[in-house]
Amino acid sequence: MQLGVFAKTFERDTLEANLDAVRESGFQCTQYNLDCAGLPTLPDEVSPELCQQIRDAHADRGLTMAALSGTFNIIHDDRDELEANFRRLEILAQTCAALGTDVITLCTGTRDQKYMWRAHPDNGTAAAWQDVVASMRRIADIAEANDVYVGIEPEVNNVVDTAEKARRLIDELGSPRVKVVMDGANLFHSGQLQRMHEVLDEAFAHVGRDIVIAHAKDLSHDGDAGHEAAGTGLLDYDYYLNLLWQSGFDGPLITHGLTEAQVPLCVEFLQGKLASLT
C-alpha cells in the first residue's frame, strides 16, 4: 500500500510549499483538495495552467494524486445549490485527467442542511434513500462520461451509514464507476465498538472487493467518533490493515483527522504496521 495524506493537513501559502510538507513528512501520495491551490473544493472553473502546475508539483516531488475531494451534500434541500454543485462536480471530473488522478471522493449526504457530516433522524427514511439513488445516478453518469471513478464512504452520519448500505447502493446503481472509500473508524454505530472485529469483518465482506482508496484515522468511542490520528485511539489497526491486505487491496492508504504536529508519530506508526503485513 502507498501511504498518503489529506493535503489540507498542511496549511501553507503556496501549493508547492504544501506539497513540500507532504513529501518531507514521508508520504507517497495525496488525497488532494483544490483548496490547497486557492480554489473552492468544488470550483466553478479550473484553468489548464493551474492543472499543469498542480500535476507538475506532485511529479517533481515524487508524489501521486490518489484522489481528489469532491464532497457536497448530494441530497441538500436547496435545489439551486444542489444543481450548482452537480455542475461543479462535472467540472472537477473534467479536470481529473489533467491533474493526474481518476478518483473523486464523495459524501452520500444527510438531511441535516447545515453540515454534511452530521446525522439526522430522517437519514434512514425511504425518501432519503431514493434521493441518494437519484443523485448517485447523475454522478455515475458524470463519472462514466469523464472516465473517472467516484468513491462513496460508509459513514455513521450519512445516509449510507453502513457497508451493507454501500453494497445495496452499488448494486442498485449497477455502475462500475462507483467504488468505496474504506474507513474503519467510521463504521461503528453506538454500542458496536465491543463488536469491533465482527463489524469490520461484515464491512469487508460487503464491499472489500470495491475499495478504491482506504482511510487511516482512529476513534475514541463509537458513534460519531472517527476524528483521531491513526494509532492514538481504539481501532485495532493490525486487524483493520490485515483485512485490507486480505481483500487484495494494494492502493493508497490516506491518513487524516490529525494535526500537523501529530504527523511524525502517525507516519511512524503506519509505516511499522504496513511493514509487518505479509
Give residue 101's pLDDT: 98
What are 46's three cell numbers?
A: 479550473
What are 273's three cell numbers?
A: 504496521
φ, ψ dihedrals at 4, nearest 5°: -135, -175
Q: What is the DSSP string of the chain?
A: -EEEEEGGGS--SSHHHHHHHHHHTT-SEEEE-GGGGTS-SS-S---HHHHHHHHHHHHHTT-EEEEEE----TT-S-HHHHHHHHHHHHHHHHHHHHHT--EEE-----S-SS-TTS--GGGGSHHHHHHHHHHHHHHHHHHHHTT-EEEE---TTSSS-SHHHHHHHHHHHT-TTEEEEEEGGG---TT-GGGHHHHHHHHHHHHGGGEEEEEEEE-SSSSS---EETTSSS--HHHHHHHHHHTT--SEEEE-S--GGGHHHHHHHHHHHHHT--
In a structure prediction context, what are the per-residue pLDDT tens digits for the chain, which is 278 residues long?
Answer: 999 999 999 999 999 999 999 999 999 999 999 999 999 999 999 999 999 999 999 999 999 999 999 999 999 999 999 999 999 999 999 999 999 999 999 999 999 988 988 999 999 999 999 999 999 999 999 999 999 999 999 999 999 999 999 999 999 999 999 999 999 999 999 999 999 999 999 999 999 999 999 999 999 888 776 789 999 999 999 999 999 999 999 999 999 999 999 999 999 999 999 999 86
Give residue 196's pLDDT: 96
Model pLDDT for residues 136-165, shown as the tens digit of each residue: 999 999 999 999 999 999 999 999 999 999
Model pLDDT for residues 243-252, shown as the tens digit of each residue: 999 999 999 9
2-275 topology per CATH? TIM Barrel (3.20.20)
Q: ∠ at Cα 110 (147, 207), nearest 5°?
A: 50
Give residue 226's pLDDT: 73
The candidate with the shortest Cα–Cα distance to 131, out of 182, 63, 82, is 82
Give residue 278's pLDDT: 64
Give residue 221's pLDDT: 84
User: 104-121: buried (b, 16+ CB within 10 Å) or exposed (e) per residue?
Assistant: bbbbbbbbbeeebbebbe
CB 265 within 8 A of CB 225: no
Give residue 144's pLDDT: 98
Give residue 14's pLDDT: 98
Give residue 129's pLDDT: 98
Give residue 213's pLDDT: 98
pTM confidence score? 0.96
What's the chain's average pLDDT? Answer: 96
CB 66 within 8 A of CB 29: yes
Model pLDDT for residues 118-136, shown as the tens digit of each residue: 999 999 999 999 999 999 9
As a whole number of angstroms, the distance between CA 109 and CA 124 comes to 11
Give residue 235's pLDDT: 96
